[in-house]
Amino acid sequence: MTGETYNEIDLERERLEILKAYRGLLWVSRHVRDKEDTKLIRKAFDLAVEAHKEMRRKSGEPYIFHPIAVARICIEEMGLGTTAIVCALLHDTVEDTYITLNDIEEMFGLKVRTIINGLTKIPEVFDENISLQAENFRKLILTISDDLRVAFIKIADRLHNMRTLSSMRPDKRLKICSETEFLYAPLAHRLGFNAIKNEFEDIIFKYKEPERYAEIESKLEKTKEIRNRFIRQFTNPIKQVLEREGFNFSIKARTKSIPSIYKKVYQKNVSFDEIFDIFAIRIIYDTEIENEKPMAWRIYSIVTDFYQPNPDRLRDWISIPKANGYESLHTTVMSPTGKWVEVQIRSVRMDEIAEKGYAAHWKYKENSTTESTFDRWIGEIRDLLENPEANAEEFIDEFKLNLFTDEIYVFTPNGDLRVLPKNATTLDFAFDIHTDVGLSCIGAKVNGKLMPISHVLKSGDQVEIIRSKKQLPKEDWLKFVGTARAKAKIKSALKEEQKRIASDGKEILQRKFSQLHINFTSENISILEKFFQIPNTTELYFQIAKGKLDLSRLREIEVVGKALVLPKKVEKTENSSSLQNIITCVDSKKDTIVIGEDFKDIEYRLANCCTPIPGDDVFGFITATEGIKIHRVNCPNATRLMSNYAYRIIKATWKSKHLKERLAGIKITGIDDVGIVNTITNIISSEHRVNMKSISFESNDGIFEGKIMLYVYDTEHLDKLMLQFEQINGVKSVERI
């Protein structure tokens, strides 16, 4: 972002456009501000304009348009107030300009300073042992428990960046999409910003799978009129009865997002022709809060008078709201044309909460039930914060466990309801009750039957925990607990136990040093850690106490006076392909690995997790010990790598001169038929002369599934092969694995 010289006419036009954008912000915020608020917003705007006056976005426009757009999202799409507008206007000033946090506090007070601090990234300092992006994520999460508006504004900031991705370099786009998929989309979901979460996922899919996105978008456009006609016919009889009975209501049709349609069409093998399965009818009614529930069931009764409901598809999130506050009554009914249609029934209040999440709760304080679920979630985050020793990546992974999508509802012996993530175990339930209950848990009675602590619970289960004072937490507990709270408490307890055992090891070492006339100093302990290749002092003491280290080997270390001197053979040698060395000689913005050619004498190899082949969109990832690994852009690990380690990502492309066979996998499903396997193998061996590594077919109730591992030259070669498989009679889907 650098200043550029513009003539006076251009500068005057830009000044007027900036003022127009500012007036637009004032207009949309007219309902939430008074005269004093307006003065404060103007003060923040003037400071932001001055601070960012030399800066431009990648698109070339003045930078100030970005904070104005973020502030507008906070008002229009999140329903926030004046403080959020001020902080949104100033959110990049401390990070990118001469403005300091002290300046912010002096002009706008401590609350604004706290929020701006939470929105400011950690300075970029290279350290191969940390992920800077994970540290920034952790900083964001730490501030959630202080002021939720930090998370709200950060999501608004990310939303505007996603909406303007087209002006970014392709590699930068993928990095931003990966960060959004990794943390911001789940966070938006957990905070109840449903519309924003859907938009995040839509933009991510658009840039990660552009061809499939364009294909589905085109099909939706072509079938739009057919859908609209069907919706009118479906809703007309319902509308007439609701109007006759005096309901104040509106009916909307919501087409599912393109990523959701993709999952349905490509992953569940549903034909796109079943277009009616990819939208929902939403009935929104206005009433007093005490009448909401009976009115929802009355509307449900009217809908099911016309259309037969599917009893397995009734979802009552009014009686028991989701953990993110979502309330609605969902049913799926059979239309006269034989197509299933989802109908969502919710009040105006419920609809606003569904779209604007916890920001909307501030308008509806009387709804204490949903607020308490959120307070409980904030409590779980505070539990995570009690473990300061966890590294940033571990912290983020545990936090993400709390961004779960699906929940189950479990009852205590007294009938109290507890909300847990899907696949939670009896041990998760025990820790949800209390830490001491979890640590002393030896089993449970689930619906009156004795079950182990690893038993996976289901919605509706009633659970009674069985405890023992002799129980101690074990390492393998971490394998089957699913909640962040349980994991954090188990790790904390294990560390305490390790420290207790380590104190015995320390005494053993002190006696050994005394026998050998060696001083018990931190320098000598450090030498011992390097000699035995132990990561820290606690682990050293722990292994000594457990008898894992042979202290007789101390005689191999030279003693000068009463100090230890490390033998030369175990001194740390500099690895030429170490992370530090590679990053030093690689410019991640300019350099590109051409696969098939030498790259700066640095070793690189294809990753086993996604087995890229020529023609795939790929990137290089600088590993800590194995040089550079080449991954596909849609590799299962790509999102995590790009979001946590952007500084270790390098562009990569294929050299097309040399053909080399590489391993790829294909999954084929279809209707079992005599000779279909023979047809497939003939295409592979006769028509394409492709070498196979393995082939397996399974048939179940007339449906077959085949997996083929074969060697191909590039994606073009693979695509031709897959296209021929799709044309075989009886084959329903062909996809790469």
DSSP count for the chain of H helices, then E strands: 29, 22
DSSP assigned state of 128: T
Q: Could you tell me which residues come within 8 angstroms of residue 305 by beta carbon, excluding any fewer than 6 positions away? A: 241
Phi and psi at residue 446, to the nearest 5° = -105, 115
Phi and psi at residue 60, to the nearest 5° = 100, -15
CB of 150 within 8 A of CB of 119? Answer: yes
CA distance 668 to 680: 10
Q: Which H helix or E strand runs over 226?
A: helix 224-244
The torsion of the CA quartet 712, 716, 718, 723, rounded to 10 degrees, works out to: -150
**Residue 536 Cα to chain centre, angstroms:** 32
Q: Could you tell me which residues come within 8 angstroms of residue 634 by beta carbon, excluding any fewer than 6 positions away? A: 208, 209, 610, 617
Which residues partner with 443 through β-bridges? 466
Q: Is residue 95 annotated as a catalytic residue, yes or no? A: yes
Query: What is the per-residue DSSP string for 326-380?
Result: ---EEEEEE-TTS-EEEEEEEEHHHHHHHHHHHHHHTT-TT-HHHHHHHHHHHHH
Determine which one of 12, 46, 54, 95 is catalytic.
95
Q: What is the largest CA-CA distance in the chain?
A: 100
If DSSP states are collapsed to H, E and C, what string results for 69-95? HHHHHHHHCCCCCHHHHHHHHHCCHHH
Closest CA to 666 of 613, 730, 595: 613
Write the CA distances from 17 to 60, 61, 167, 184, 494, integer angstroms: 14, 10, 20, 30, 60
Q: Is residue 673 annotated as a catalytic residue, yes or no? A: no
Place of tokens 């957990």: 190
Place of tokens 């997002």: 257
Write the CA distances from 28 to 35, 81, 85, integer angstroms: 15, 11, 11
Determine which one of 17, 61, 96, 316 is catalytic.
96
Catalytic site residues?
95-96
